[in-house]
A = this chain, B = another copy of it.
């Protein structure tokens, strides 16, 4: 199945696990295991989440030996994050996280 509506797309950012993955991939592409370890989360959980991110092209995959390296679609995601950051600074609570 594919990402085929705006809300589908935004769901990839409306969840802490996915957002954490996104933040980690901002710096460098990683395999599922690497992510899993850095996050202290189960492999399966990370994999399920990556699947959703991938089907909306928020991340891309590339096979490298046994590993599958996931990387962020920076073209869309970075400006997106910048927008929100700005918004939050301007409008949101001091208690804002992240």
Contacts and interface: CB of A to CB of B under 8 A. Distances in A.
Q: How many chain copies does the complex carry?
A: 2
A17 to B, nearest CB: 9
Contact of A83 (B3, B57, B80, B93): B80
A87 interface: yes
| Size class of the A contact interface (CB-based, 8 Å) | 20 to 34
Interface in A66-98: 73, 75-76, 79-81, 83-84, 86-88, 91-93, 95-98
Chain A, interface SS category: helix
Interface stretch (A8-16, A24-32, A43-51): A8-16
A57 B92 CA distance: 8
Given A57-B92, A80-B83, A83-B76, A98 B10 contact: no
Interface of A: 2-7, 9-11, 13-16, 19, 56-57, 73, 75-76, 79-81, 83-84, 86-88, 91-93, 95-98
